[in-house]
């Protein structure tokens, strides 16, 4: 008898690493994915929803697992950050995917998530791979459903590592600091996968090439996207490898003990001149605040590499 699968909802803003994260998630029998929500972040909401739908189609996600459009910008600023250039044209590293044929889901991501939580209270893990706008809006609109969320596993923040937008802030948190803070304040169980962890779990060029050569639709798309990321990263740092941030957050839901978790009281700075969007993690209990999160500060990089590669290659076996 197979072990119980974890019911999850994936909220994302694809984005290359979101795409890899979706590939990983749908190749992981540990997860039962109820649906994919889109949020503005790496790209605008139209692009994010469209990319999510195209990715779902490429993967072969059945229409019973909907792709639902969410918020177009952060909760507390009318203007959102411009698209992240690292994700290239279209947000998927220049990889063109066939247009999605499934009709757009009519509802709003926040409402759809609320329905799922109502139907199966206490069961769902939310995997949040973009700005936390949808998740915060859900917890704000439906405070009664906070207790119905089993856990939130999110990619975001830089606890004791440099940010990737500003010296202090990572993209997802910087794009909507008030949402990130809100989520942290609710007290919903939280696993945070920050840059501290993702930068320690690099995917080498070699793996991108292996996947690209495979030739099956998902593996080769994954390969090309990863190669795009590696090349961007390599141009900056000289290292022919890249972090695949969001995929590590999915891995954290699939196999939590791949990562090293530190209990902390966390919040997000919303008002700093230089630190807006910074994840503030109290790991030494200096504030006296209750611990409200597990923060990934380490990772078994080899095991993650192995997990990612082996799971992505399942798309190859399915497509002989």
Positions touching Ca ion (CB under 5 A) are 13, 15, 18, 129-130, 246
Q: What is the DSSP string of 216-261?
A: SHHHHHHHHHHHHHHHHHHHHHS-SEEE-HHHHHHHHHH-GGGEEE
| Chosen residue from 22, 126, 280, 312 binding its own copies by CB under 8 A | 280
The reply to whether 267 sits near its own copies by the rule CB under 8 A is yes
Strands 6-12 and 124-128: parallel
Q: Give the three-state DSSP class for 112.
A: helix
Partner from Ca ion, its own copies, none binding residue 130, C-beta < 5-8 Å depending on class: Ca ion
Mask 226-255, x = binds its own copies (CB under 8 A)? ------------------------------
Partner from its own copies, Ca ion, none binding residue 246, C-beta < 5-8 Å depending on class: Ca ion
- Select the span of 16-24, 27-35, 175-183, 307-315 touching its own copies (CB under 8 A): 175-183
CA separation for the pair 44, 38 (Å, rounded): 10
- Select the span of 2-10, 19-27, 157-165, 247-255 touching its own copies (CB under 8 A): 157-165
Partner from its own copies, Ca ion, none binding residue 129, C-beta < 5-8 Å depending on class: Ca ion
Taken in order 61, 105, 45, 136, the sign of the CA dihedral is negative
Partner from Ca ion, its own copies, none binding residue 75, C-beta < 5-8 Å depending on class: its own copies
Q: Which residue intervals of the chain are DSSP H helices?
A: 16-26, 45-59, 109-119, 133-141, 171-175, 177-186, 195-198, 205-214, 217-237, 245-254, 301-317
- Select the span of 15-23, 89-97, 253-261, 282-290 touching its own copies (CB under 8 A): 282-290
Catalytic residues: 245
Residues 109-148 that bind its own copies (CB under 8 A): 110, 137, 140-141, 143
The reply to whether 160 sits near its own copies by the rule CB under 8 A is yes
Q: Torsions phi, psi of 260, nearest 5?
A: -100, 125
Toward Ca ion, which CB reaches closer, 18 or 151? 18
CA separation for the pair 255, 207 (Å, rounded): 21
């Amino acid at each position: 008898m197979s072990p119980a699968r974890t019911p999850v909802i994936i909220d994302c803003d694809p984005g290359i690493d979101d795409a890899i994260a979706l590939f990983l998630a749908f190749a992981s029998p540990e997860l039962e994915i109820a649906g994919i929500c889109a949020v503005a972040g790496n790209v605008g909401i139209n692009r994010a929803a469209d990319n999510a739908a195209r990715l779902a189609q490429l993967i072969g996600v059945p229409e019973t697992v909907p792709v639902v459009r969410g918020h177009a910008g952060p909760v507390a600023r009318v203007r959102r950050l411009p698209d992240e250039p690292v994700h290239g044209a279209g947000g998927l590293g220049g990889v063109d995917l066939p247009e999605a044929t499934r009709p757009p889901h009519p509802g709003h991501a926040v409402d759809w998530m609320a329905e799922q939580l109502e139907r199966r209270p206490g069961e769902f893990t939310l995997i949040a791979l973009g700005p936390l706008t949808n998740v915060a809006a859900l917890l704000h609109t439906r405070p009664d459903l906070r207790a119905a969320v089993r856990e939130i596993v999110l990619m975001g923040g830089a606890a004791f590592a440099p940010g990737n937008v500003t010296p202090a802030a990572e993209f997802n948190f910087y794009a909507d600091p008030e949402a990130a803070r809100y989520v942290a304040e609710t007290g919903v169980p939280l696993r945070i996968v920050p840059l501290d962890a993702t930068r320690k779990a690099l995917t080498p060029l070699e793996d991108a090439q292996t996947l690209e050569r495979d030739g099956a639709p998902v593996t080769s798309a994954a390969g090309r996207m990863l190669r795009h990321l590696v090349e961007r990263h390599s141009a900056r740092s000289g290292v022919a490898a890249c972090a695949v941030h969001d995929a590590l957050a999915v891995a954290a839901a699939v196999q939590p003990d791949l990562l090293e978790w530190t209990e902390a009281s966390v919040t997000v700075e919303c008002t700093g001149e230089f630190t807006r969007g910074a994840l503030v993690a109290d790991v030494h209990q200096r504030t006296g605040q209750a611990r409200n999160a597990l923060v990934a500060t380490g990772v078994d990089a080899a095991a993650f590499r192995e997990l990612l590669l082996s799971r992505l290659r399942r798309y190859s076996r399915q497509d002989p």
